[in-house]
Amino acid sequence: MKTNRRRAREFVLQGLYQWQLAGTDAATIARQLGEAKGFDKIDAGYFKALLEGAVASAPQLEREIEPHLDRKLEHLSPVERGILLLAAYELAHRPEVPYRVVIDEAVEIAKAYGGTDGWKFVNGVLDKLAARLRAPEWETGNRK
């Protein structure tokens, strides 16, 4: 069963996809998606915070993501880029959400909406990003 936060993240991905392709501002996207079927089943506050935060922070988030990519940022699919922006925003700005939850959610969304093995790419990038953005938590969680 999907949680209301998972659904919120899926709506954020839709919004980030639209933002990348059409350049629509976050507030307009949020209003449009607010009328979509199933929106009433999400954590609307979390959706709004993630969408607006990821869009506003995109240049900084992309600078954080780029060193961990095996290709240029512009060569990522809009879905992969959207998932990475969403998860990078959560890692950087939502410390109350454990980094493992952020990565697991991103991987599950990548499995559902991304290319065949896109989830493996997303997982690898986010693991490296979490090691940097959440160093103390990451080190504690990865001790053997």
**CATH code: domain of residue 25:** 1.10.940.10
Segment 56-91, tens digit of pLDDT: 999 999 999 999 999 999 999 999 999 999 999 999
Instruction: Tell me how far apart the alpha carbons of residues 109 and 139 are, in angstroms, rounded to a whole number.
Output: 25
Read off the pLDDT of each residue in 123-138 and give the average, rounded to a whole number.
93
Question: What is the count of structural domains for the chain?
Answer: 1
Range of the domain at 55: 4-141
Segment 8-21, tens digit of pLDDT: 999 999 999 999 99
CA dihedral 33, 97, 71, 16 (to 10 degrees): 10
pLDDT band (50, 70, 90) for residue 139: confident
Q: Using only C-alpha atoms, what is the Rg of the chain? A: 14
